[in-house]
Homo-oligomer: A and B are copies of this chain.
Amino acid sequence: MHSLQMSRASVVLSRAQLFSLELATACRSISPSTTPRHTSASHRRITPACSSCLATWYPSSRRNMSSSPGLRSLNINNINPHVKAAQYAVRGELAIKSEELRIKLKEDASLPFDSVISANIGNPQQLDQKPLTFIREVLALVEYPKLLENEGALKSSFGYQQDAIDRAKWLLKEVGSVGAYSQSMGAAGIRQSVANFLEKRDGFAADKKDIYLTAGASAGVHTLLHVICAKPETGILTPIPQYPLYTATLSMLDARCVPYYLDETHGWDTSVSGMREAYEKATSDGTDVRALVVINPGNPTGASLSEQDIEEVIKFAAERKLVILADEVYQTNVFIGKFHSFKRALRVMQRRDPGVYDHVELASLNSVSKGMVGECGHRAGYFELVGWDAEVQDQIYKLASIMLCPPVIGQCLLEMVVNPPKEGDPSYEKYHKEYNTIKDGLLERATALYEAFEQMEGVEVGEPQGSMYLFPTLHLPEKAQKAAKEAGKNPDDFYCLRLLDATGICVVPGSGFGQKPGTLHLRTTFLAPGTDWVTRWTKFHKDFMKEYS
């Protein structure tokens, strides 16, 4: 077990094993001569996380609840082991603690900060990002169509423009009532709008029959992986670091994460050679690799793939018959370079080399949660399938049907995101201005945070490239690493916990996304307004480094 954990990128690791890897590093540093406890406690191929050193999932508010395994049907040792093995640090121990601090702050003036900053999750409207007016104007009307009976008052008392009123009427015609189930895949008219958007974006045809509306991109990933993962040997090439939805879902599906590392030394580039190496090793170990995940722009890294990188990935997928899962939810959050869609690249290649890439299967995901819209709470998104087998698509349709349909008001919102007011429309100018203000604000905040990191001792970070995150490397002093060990924590967990306690700033340790053994990172959003919190962080970091120098 240890030798596997010590080896590099290309080893095939199940989800649980992947996290054991980081755990083992921590375990070893606590008690180098002891076999980690988790090796002896395997159950149905599951290696439970080592309880001594992993940030656990147990909200402390629950710890006083009774737990009596003998009497009940269910206890932690007899439930689905794959659920138990799943890890999702974005809302883990730190996030729970930050919520407790937020409550404590109301009653306790002794805390060393006056606000909790949730930089752990890309949740713009929880901070101060305002929703786009046009979108919300229309949503109000589709929620309560009776408002449309007095257009005059809408305009004179509430500043509605005619295009908002018209859009609401059109949406209502498409969906009937937002209180009614739509078609399982989403309302046809809205899927057509998505197809139009994709055609315009890519310059290639899109068909609404291949577009599935979802309750956010997460639900789409869940559905797609559910269909692809056929057996415990199924492997999915997954970037490391990655948004932990992927590893969590693979864990729940009892399938294998085949990690390929992004190239930190080159701005977190996606290298096909790393992917290929991971694939070969996995295959030789008996893993049936069926798909590859690319997050572009990256989460947590923000890096965008070049056209050439994308072509290389597609060639590799074509050669090895791998489904491409392109998580493109940050496609409008790009500061450096340009977003290139997998769909367009694939179509270009198919046109250039007829017949060579026709069999490539691509699923591209998008969401209303990101971009300048940031409507996370509405849970809406879509995926487009390109080149998928018709019978397999029928199974996806069936899965969608079992869950009935994605939220219909979210479908309406998505329609506006893919089809915003156009130049010349009465709402265009305002929409455009609000959109750009948000965009500029994000770059400004990202830059301020980047500059602060640049000044911090032992912190390395690239220029903000995109998405909503920075993912700096931490070089922590020996003494800090020792203190972490003594506290039973990974060093990055330890740093992030100390940061939270001292400043109220909640971020996610790099261990939550996967990182090369021996390296330490953290992910922070750059959504929080103002510079006060950055100043708090800078001061904390200075004190921390001084304390452990």
Contact = CB atoms under 8 A, between A and B. Distances in A.
A266 B329 CA distance: 54
A307 to B, nearest CB: 23
Given A62-B394, A91-B184, A136-B143, A175 B79 contact: no
A344 to B, nearest CB: 21
Contact of A376 (B58, B181, B376): B181
Contacts of A399: 83, 86
A240 interface: no
Contacts of A21: none
Contacts of A92: 401
A528 to B, nearest CB: 13
B72 A361 contact: yes
A72 B407 contact: no
B321 A57 contact: no
A378 B59 contact: no
Given A62-B390, A377-B407, A150 B157 contact: yes
Interface stretch (A221-229, A463-471, A513-521): A221-229
A27 interface: no
B390 A66 contact: yes
A62 B210 CA distance: 10
Contacts of A248: 402
Contacts of A133: 146
Interface stretch (A1-9, A10-18, A120-128, A531-539): A120-128
A463 to B, nearest CB: 28
A169 B231 CA distance: 50
Nearest to A178: B377
A253 B252 CA distance: 10
Interface string A315-350: 000000111000000000000000000000000000
A125 B180 contact: yes
A435 interface: no
Nearest to A320: B73
Contacts of A144: 136-137, 139-140
Interface string A372-397: 00111111000000011111111101
A279 B361 CA distance: 45
A203 interface: no
Contact of A182 (B68, B140, B377, B388): B377
A469 B127 CA distance: 45
A57 B390 CA distance: 11
List of 8 A-B pairs having minimum Cβ-Cβ separation, nearest first: A65-B390, A153-B157, A377-B408, A140-B144, A71-B359, A91-B401, A76-B391, A125-B180
24 contacts: A44-B231, A58-B394, A62-B390, A72-B388, A73-B323, A74-B290, A74-B388, A76-B389, A76-B395, A80-B253, A88-B398, A88-B402, A99-B183, A126-B177, A126-B180, A179-B375, A179-B377, A216-B403, A219-B403, A377-B407, A378-B408, A407-B409, A407-B410, A409-B409
